[in-house]
A and B are shown apart, each in its own frame.
Chain A
Amino acid sequence: MNNPCAYEIRVEGHLTDQWTDWFNGLVINFADDGKTTLHGTLADQSALLGVLNKIHALNLTIISVKRSDPEN
Chain B
Amino acid sequence: MTASPELQREMLRQMQTIRRFEERASDDYHNGAIYGVVHCYIGEEAVAVGVCSALNKDDQIISNHRGHGHCIAKGADLNRMMAELYGRQDGYCKGKGGSMHIADFSIGMLGANGIVGGGLSIVTGAGLAAQLEGKGRVAVCFFGDGASNAGSFHESLNIAARWKLPMLYVCEHNSWAANTSSRMTHARDDVASRAAGYGIPGVVVDGNDVLAVYEAATDAVARARAGEGPTLIECKTYRWRAHTERPGAADPRPLEEIAAWMAKDPIQHLVDDLKQQQGQYSDAEFQALDDAVMSAVAAAVAFAEASPFPAPEAALDDVFAD
Mutual binders A and B = no
On B, residues with C-beta under 8 Å from A are none
On A, residues with C-beta under 8 Å from B are none
